[in-house]
Amino acid sequence: MLKGKDNLQLLTKPRRIVITTHHKPDGDALGSSLGLYHWLKKKNHQVSVVVSSDFPDFLDWMPGRGSVIMYPQSPEMASKLINEAEIIFCLDYSALSRTHALEPIIREAAGQKWMIDHHLEPEDFADLSYWDSNAAATAQLVYRFLEEELQGKADIDADIATCLYTGIMTDTGSFRFRSTTAAVHHIIAELLDAGARNWEIHEQVYNSATERRLNFLGYCLLNCLEVIPAYNTALFSIRKEDLAKFNVTTGDTEGLVNYALSIKGIRLAALIVDRTELIKLSLRSIGEIPCNEICKKYFNGGGHLNASGGSAAGDIATVVNTFKSILPEYKELLTK
Ligand code: 5GP
Ligand code: MN
């Protein structure tokens, strides 16, 4: 699971380090990045977190978020930091394309690439990889990496614990998903001991909606949801004009797909959004229905068995029809 262990000795001296994560960072991407950021800073490394986009408002309280460098705002600084880094951490992604605008810069940078991730089928680009597709979150792997590979558990303070807790909490759906093992709960207990204030973190992430966001949610539940009983499938399809009506920003659609999955008997849920030049899809499933296979085969994406994403060109009605046309292939799993 750890490949390239010999490279770890680089950390015995202060280094120039950049931490990168995937486009539109979610709680795990930002939580694992900032957790590692604080730990490396404590060890006197020169550290920056560089991302290719903004991140949701519900994460805009995390310790260290003010130091995150966003490529669209500061392209020159972002490129310079990556080019000059001795180590580039690649967190919560295993294919460089998931860093969008950063991909060519990271690919060509001279520094070592160290991947810490839990996605399936990693691309072979890293000099060091700490990878486990059974891990519930990259933040869980960062914790293990610090504890087991860097013997650095004692340095996990309240800020680090808060960031890692947030990553694990969001990627496990608040400790609900099948990935939430006893080992996850043991780590969570350690993070609480280290100073993570669980009730405050839940409050910040889940009770920070705006009235506008709730109105958008209500609108989607009423107008954009379609249930397909024959395949135990439900989907939201959200058009550009729906997004515009509610002035939807990054993060406002987060969690929406779970409402479709929460309908009794539904085993596959999709959120299909006409957001940018491409139509973005998020899939969620229960049991053995392979969201990652569907996204990989049909929507140029991937992810985990029960949670994946992808995108497609064309108009939203066509993408919705494509999605529906795939359902018969999975009928047995969907109706079992
Ligand atoms: P979400 O539906 O929340 O955007 O993403 C769910 C999971 O699917 C993510 O954790 C990530 O693993 C994966 N994922 C989302 N979008 C993409 C994509 O465009 N490509 C790939 N390979 N994986 C994605
Ligand atoms: Mn993750």
Which tens digits make up the pLDDT trace of 18-28?
999 999 999 99
Q: Could you report the per-residue pLDDT of 77-110, keeping only the tens digit for each? A: 999 999 999 999 999 999 999 999 999 999 999 9
| Distance separating the N- and C-terminal Cα atoms of the chain | 34
* Torsion angle of the four alpha carbons 99, 171, 293, 225, in this order, in degrees rounded to the nearest 10: -100
Band the pLDDT of 251: cuts 50, 70, 90: confident
Computed over its alpha carbons, how large is the radius of gyration of the chain? 20
Structure tokens, 92 = 């919560």
Structure-token match 């120039």, residue found: 16
The set of residues, in sequence order, having a beta carbon less than 8 Å from that of 275 and lying 6+ positions away, is 240, 243
Nearest ligand to the CA atom of 276 = 1
Query: Which residues does residue 69 pair with via DSSP β-bridges, in sequence order?
Result: 50
Residue nearest ligand 1's atom 24 by CA: 309
Q: Pocket of ligand 1, candidates 131, 259, 295: which has the most ligand atoms within 8 Å of its Cβ, to mutate?
A: 295
Ligand 1 neighbourhood includes 119 CB (under 6 angstroms): yes
Q: Could you report the per-residue pLDDT of 35-60, keeping only the tens digit for each? A: 999 999 999 999 999 999 999 999 99
In one-letter notation, the amino acid at residue 229 is P
Q: Where are the beta strands (DSSP E) in the chain?
A: 2-3, 16-21, 46-51, 69-70, 87-91, 112-117, 128-131, 225-228, 233-238, 268-274, 279-285, 302-303, 307-312
CA distance 271 to 265: 17
| φ/ψ of residue 217, rounded to 5 | -60, -50
Q: pTM for this structure?
A: 0.94
